[in-house]
Amino acid sequence: MAANGQNTCDRSKIHLDIALTPADSLAMIPILLLAAGQSSRMRGRDKLLEEIDGTPILNLLSARAIMVGPVFVTLPDLNHPRRKALPGDATAVPVPEARNGMSNSLKAGISALPDTATGVIILPADMPDITTADLAAIKAHSQQNLAPIVRATTSDGKPGHPIYFARSLFSLLQNLSGDRGAYQICQDYSAQTKLVPLKGQRARLDLDTPEEWEYFLKNRNQ
């Protein structure tokens, strides 16, 4: 099973100690789901259309995210089969050059956000254990301190996702290149990053291969 953290910065089951205030709840912080990848390790299957309890993971994560804020989802194009898996409230964002690296997906997603967005929470769409409560925790922490980045970690401190970026970093995100995503931004701002531990390994657990999917579905309730 993958828990390798290959992610933006390199590539309701959890009890929270914080709560969103009315002001926090009204803050315009969209969730950007990265779903424009090629599923190149799935041997012809689409990892984002793989099902958990009969629901495609892309639909599942979009529905969880919508409970926290407006949801934008990057896709290879607007006619891609993944679009049918999106809830009606999610906004699809086409990424014509998605094959050329994650940076293109990030740039397209940031460019699609409304001018009123004060920040963004970024989450790859292949991370099945991220819950609504996890996303709400990142949002709450982003509103309770001035850190330009708020990043989830595993329970033992390894950095992962979701990641909040303040609007002050949007210009940097829009000038990315290559397939390392926002890695250099995360490095440059590491001293100013607020880390938020999540339960277990969920902040780094992604599913990239049929074997990882099989293992996850067989063992997830154990």
pLDDT digit string, tens, across residues 47-96: 999 999 999 999 999 999 999 999 999 999 999 999 999 999 999 999 99
pTM over 0.75: yes
Report the topology of domain 28-217. Answer: Spore Coat Polysaccharide Biosynthesis Protein SpsA; Chain A (3.90.550)
**Mean pLDDT calculated for residue range 139-158:** 96
Do 179 and 171 meet the contact criterion of CB atoms below 8 Å apart?
no
pLDDT digit string, tens, across residues 158-209: 999 999 999 999 999 999 987 777 999 999 999 999 999 999 999 999 999 9
Band (16; pLDDT cuts 50, 70, 90): very low
In the Cβ-directed half-sphere of 142, how many Cα atoms lie within 13 Å? 32
6: pLDDT strictly greater than 50: no
Please report the pLDDT score of residue 7 as a whole number.
53
Eight-state DSSP code of residue 108: H
Count of CB atoms situated within 10 Å of the CB of 34: 29
Which of these, 121, 124, 160, lies nearest to 139 by C-alpha position?
121
Question: Which DSSP helix (H) or strand (E) runs through 135?
Answer: helix 132-144
**Mean pLDDT calculated for residue range 136-145:** 95
102: pLDDT strictly greater than 80: yes
Question: Which DSSP helix (H) or strand (E) runs through 123?
Answer: strand 119-124
- CA distances (Å), 192 to each of 18, 94, 148, 188, in order? 21, 32, 7, 9
Spatial neighbors of 153 by CB under 8 A, at least 6 apart, are 159, 160, 195, 196, 197, 198, 203
